[in-house]
Amino acid sequence: MAISSLNKFTVPLATDQSASTQGLLMPKMKYRFRAIFENFGVSSEKVELTKQVMDIARPNLNFNPFTIDVYNSKVKLIGKPEWQDLTINLRDDAGGNVTKLVGEQIQKQFDFAEQSSASSGIDYKFVLKYEMLDGGNGANAATVLETWEIYGAFVNNVNYGDMNYTSNEPATVSLTITYDNAIQTPGGTGVGTAVGRTLGTAITGVT
């Protein structure tokens, strides 16, 4: 097969929509990522947590639409946006680094020894940032293809998993994260992009 035919491995488009030499776009790969935790727990070192991440969910958004009933019809509008919880699965290392940091974070949220809760959200909320990478490593530094920044985050649920004599898998710790907002970078693309807000005559109508 001639190499030149590889540019046809895609969906055919009109000539004014795509270059004739453009083939299939390279996808982002699920396994090329890293998660960075800021203000998580109280220890200054967080890299061990980053290295033990097994998988992480990207943000999921619900606009909570509502309906206005009119004469013969229904009009549907978006409501307040609500970011859905996301999950992170971590390998539980033999040195106890993961359980230490997770324990510090949930202690910030609620002191289980003294049965005392945090006085305000700023006392325990953290920032979670995870980056999709291009596969670079070592001498070939990784390039960040996409970043999600999760703000106002806290641990909503912790599952320390089970132990099993018949299993050859590592022990895991699963976290469910609740958060206030998510921004997608690099700037100029995706969620958080400044696209302006239409006002004026549109205020008088719902369509």
Mean pLDDT over residues 101-106, rounded?
96
CA 86 to chain centre: 7
| pTM for the predicted model, two decimal places | 0.85
> Quick check: helix, strand or coil at residue 185?
strand
Please tell me the predicted confidence (pLDDT) of residue 117.
Answer: 93
SS3 51: helix
The fraction of the chain above a pLDDT of 90, given in percent, is 72
Beta carbons within 10 angstroms of residue 109's beta carbon: 16
Q: Is 34 exposed, middle or buried (0-12, 13-18, 19+ CB in 10 A)?
A: middle
- 172 Cβ contact list (under 8 Å, min separation 6): 54, 89, 90, 91, 92, 161
| pLDDT, tens digit, 9 for 90 and up, residues 63-93 | 999 999 999 999 999 999 999 999 999 999 9
Rounded Cα–Cα distance for residues 134 and 131 (Å): 10
User: Has residue 206 got a pLDDT over 70?
Assistant: no
Torsion 64-40-112-55 (CA) sign: positive
Q: What is the mean pLDDT of the chain?
A: 88
Per mean pLDDT, which range of 25-29, 38-42, 103-107, 145-149 is the poorest? 25-29
Q: What is the pLDDT of residue 187?
A: 54
pLDDT reported for residue 14: 72
Decide if pLDDT at 2 tops 70. no
Q: How far is CA 18 from CA 14, 79, 134, 161, 190, in A?
A: 7, 37, 24, 50, 22
- For residue 112, pLDDT beyond 90: yes
> In this model, does residue 32 exceed pLDDT 90?
yes
Among 5-9, 35-39, 101-105, 165-169, whose mean pLDDT is lowest?
5-9
Enter the DSSP assignment of 29.
P
Domains with residue ranges and CATH for the chain = 35-64+76-189 (2.30.110)
Total number of residues shown for the chain: 207
What's the pLDDT at 199? 61
Q: Which two tokens stand for residue 165?
A: 């004599």
